[in-house]
Amino acid sequence: MNDQRPNPDQLLARVEREQAKAKRGRLKIFFGAAAGVGKSFAMLLAARERRAENLDVLVGLVETHGRKDTQLLLEGLEILPPRHIDYKGTVLQEFDLDAALKRRPAIILVDELAHTNAPGSRHPKRWQDIHELLEAGIDVYTALNVQHLESLNDDIGQISGIRVWETVPDTVFEDADEVELVDLPPDELLLRLKEGKVYLPQQAQQAIHNFFRKGNLIALRELALRQTANRVDAQMLDYREDHAIRDVWQVNERLLVCIGPNAMAERLVRAGKRLAASLRAEWIVAYVETPQLQRMPAEKRDGVLRILRLAEQLGAETVTLSAPEMSDAIIRFSRERNINKIVVGKPSRRGWRRWLMGSVVDVLIGHAHNINIYLLGSPQLAERAELEPELSLFKKSPLPGLRQRIPSKTRKRYQGYLWAVAVTLISTLVGHTMFGRLELANLVMVFLMGVVFIATRFGRGPSILASVLSVAAFDVLFVQPYYSFSVADSQYLITLSAMLVVAIVISNLMVSVRSQAKVAAHRERRAAALYAMSKELAGSQTEADIVRTAVRHLHSEFSSRNVILFADANGRVVYPKQKGIRESLHGADLSVAQWVLDHNETAGQGTNTLPGAAAVYFPIRDEEQVLGVLALLPVNLRRVFLPEQQKLLETFLRQIGQAVTRLRFSEQARSTQMQMETERLRNSLLSAISHDLRTPLATIVGSASTLVEGEPHLRPQDKLELSRAIVEEAERMSNLVNNILDMARLDAGVVELNKQWHPVEEIIGTAMTRLQKQLLGRQVKVKLPPGIPMVHADAVMIEQVLINLLENALRYTPAGSDLEINVQIAAGSVEIALADHGPGIAKGMEHRLFEKFYQARHEAAQSGVGLGLAICRAIVEVHGGSIRAHNAPDGGAVFSFSLPVDQAPPVLELDEDES
CA dist., res. 807 & res. 715, Å (int): 33
- Alpha-carbon distances, residue 400 vs 403, 555, 634 (angstroms): 8, 18, 11
Q: How confident is the model at residue 385 (pLDDT cuts 50, 70, 90)?
A: very low
SS3 for 212-244, per residue?
A: CCHHHHHHHHHHHHHHHHHHHHHHHHHHHHHCC
The pLDDT score that the predictor gives to residue 107 is 93
Q: How confident is the model at residue 201 (pLDDT cuts 50, 70, 90)?
A: low
Contacts of 356 by beta carbon, 8 Å cutoff, 6+ apart: none
359: left (phi over 0), alpha (psi -120 to 50) or beta: beta
Q: Provide the residue type at 882 as one letter.
A: S
- Alpha-carbon distances, residue 71 vs 61, 74, 428 (angstroms): 12, 5, 98
Which of 144, 181, 140 has its CA nearest to residue 164?
144
The pLDDT score that the predictor gives to residue 1 is 39
Strand order through the sheet with 829-835: 780-783, 819-826, 829-835, 893-900, 882-887
Mean pLDDT of the chain: 78
Mean pLDDT of 588-613: 86
Q: How confident is the model at residue 388 (pLDDT cuts 50, 70, 90)?
A: very low
CA dist., res. 436 & res. 85, Å (int): 105
- Alpha-carbon distances, residue 575 vs 586, 628, 629, 707 (angstroms): 9, 11, 11, 71
Q: Sign (positive/negative) of CA torsion 819, 825, 827, 830?
A: positive
CA dist., res. 40 & res. 73, Å (int): 10
CA dist., res. 829 & res. 898, Å (int): 6
Does 164 or 141 have the greater pLDDT score? 141
Q: Is residue 699 within 8 Å of residue 729, measured between CB atoms?
A: yes
Q: Cα torsion at 223, 226, 227, 229 (round to 10°)?
A: 160
Residue 2 pLDDT greater than 60, yes or no: no
Q: How confident is the model at residue 518 (pLDDT cuts 50, 70, 90)?
A: confident
CA dist., res. 3 & res. 331, Å (int): 12
Q: Is residue 467 within 8 Å of residue 496, measured between CB atoms?
A: no
Residue 564 pLDDT greater than 80, yes or no: yes
CA dist., res. 22 & res. 26, Å (int): 9
CA dist., res. 471 & res. 91, Å (int): 97
pLDDT in tens, 254-308: 899 998 887 788 889 988 888 888 887 889 999 887 766 566 666 677 778 788 8
Peptide bond into 186 cis (omega under 30): no
CA dist., res. 535 & res. 655, Å (int): 10
CA dist., res. 154 & res. 151, Å (int): 7
CA dist., res. 127 & res. 132, Å (int): 9
pLDDT in tens, 747-794: 666 567 778 888 888 888 888 888 888 888 888 889 888 877 788 888
pLDDT in tens, 443-461: 878 888 887 787 777 766 7
Residue 661 pLDDT greater than 80, yes or no: yes
Which of 29, 304, 279, 278 has its CA nearest to residue 177?
29
Residue 10 pLDDT greater than 60, yes or no: no
Report, in angstroms and rounded to the nearest whole number, the Rg of the chain calculated over CA atoms: 42
CA dist., res. 23 & res. 516, Å (int): 42
Q: What global pTM score does this model have?
A: 0.47
Which of 560, 563, 570, 627 has its CA nearest to residue 590?
563
Cβ neighbours, 10 Å, residue 588 = 25
